[in-house]
Amino acid sequence: MKLKFGTAITMLICAFFQAQGQEIALLKYSGGGDWYANPTSLPNLAKFCNANIQTKIPTKIPTVDVGSSELYNYPFVHMTGHGNVEFSESELKNLSTYLKSGGFLHIDDNYGMDQYIRIQIKRLFPDHPLTELGKNHPIFQVPYSFPNGIPKIHEHDSKPPQAFAVIIENRIVLLYTHETDLGDGWEDPEVHNNPPAVREKALKMGANMINYAFKN
């Protein structure tokens, strides 16, 4: 992860931003949504990445609060859930600084989150709207090729899968995946009974995101 040093204040913040190797974390938030959904997904993604793209991610995944200074310990943070999401002003400021300083947030709609998270993303980055990623974006190319863009993993409303991003200085700082439910594909096979090929697609797409977050 490359931290962005702009001002003296940002430099001081980034000095505190000590990424602990290649750790990833699950984001805990308020509002009533089940931030703890898909408990086996991140450990499985970590195992897949370690076995296939030479990462060294601890498979015991910590939880980090939106407003905590511990957020800065993780170059990749994952957020999921089915319901309401609420960020306080101080949490928004902390999350914004984390992302602008080199952090990466993946938000995966587990069904029912969309109407709430879009409001919070707009509050988080009012001057940087969500943009749908084209199929030729590098995050869909390396290390695994997804010529059609984000894959469909779990059916919700018979809509196509979409990947939206907040991009600052040509870097994705926030990736929002909708109508795909990658996290369901990362979970243990018996949880959702996804075919092996579907789980593999989900894990490979997750590996692409991890690879992007660690190298950009």
For the entire predicted model, the pTM comes to 0.90
Contact 46, 37 (CB under 8 A): no
Tens place of pLDDT per residue across the chain (216 aa) = 444 444 444 444 444 444 346 899 999 999 999 999 999 999 999 999 999 999 999 999 999 999 999 999 999 999 999 999 999 999 999 999 999 999 999 999 988 899 999 999 999 999 999 999 999 999 999 999 999 999 999 777 778 999 999 999 999 999 999 999 999 999 999 888 889 999 999 999 999 999 999 999
Two tokens, residue 73: 């310990």
| pLDDT, tens digit, 9 for 90 and up, residues 24-48 | 999 999 999 999 999 999 999 999 9
Instruction: Dihedral sign for Cα 120, 126, 132, 137, please.
Output: negative
Phi, psi of 131 (to 5 degrees): -125, 130
Domain-wise residue ranges, the chain: 8-215
Spatial distance between the Cα atoms of 184 and 153, rounded to a whole number of angstroms:
7
pLDDT at 193: 84
- Of 3.40.640.10, 3.40.50.450, 3.40.50.12140, 2.40.50.140, the CATH number of 8-215 is 3.40.50.12140
Neighbours of 196 (CB within 10 A): 8
